[in-house]
Amino acid sequence: MNDCLFCKIIKGELPSHKVYEDDNFLAFLDIHPQSPGHVLVIPKKHYRWVWDIPMCDKPSPNYCDYAAVIHKVAKAIQGTFGTDAVLMKVIGEEVPHAHTWVFPMPSEVKGDKKDFEGNAKKIQEQL
């Protein structure tokens, strides 16, 4: 989609602080973080909603592959910020591209949530 912010990030037309990328998925820091290390995990193919991603019995990429990336990012956030409390939210109305928020519980972590470069680097080191 030409006007989708996340599609523009995928194409490199808009900057982002990437923490993970493969052929099918991208994870980057949210520009309005709930806490340090607030990551968005998105499919590179444009789907409007998370539930539009093909089911696990379909060829890759599918929802199981997507869930595996979310799991990987959540475990990296746990290691980075020293907390078991990692939240996941699927909301979707703010940007019309399937995405999942993954972030440490704000009351459980310390750090500057606007330190995008530092937080991205710390998470990448855990992946």
Enzyme catalytic residues = 99
Evaluate whether 16 touches 107 at the Cβ level (below 8 Å): no
Whole-number Å distance between alpha carbons of 25 and 55: 15
CA dihedral for 100, 61, 52, 31, sign (positive or negative): positive
Evaluate whether 109 touches 81 at the Cβ level (below 8 Å): yes
Whole-number Å distance between alpha carbons of 97 and 105: 24
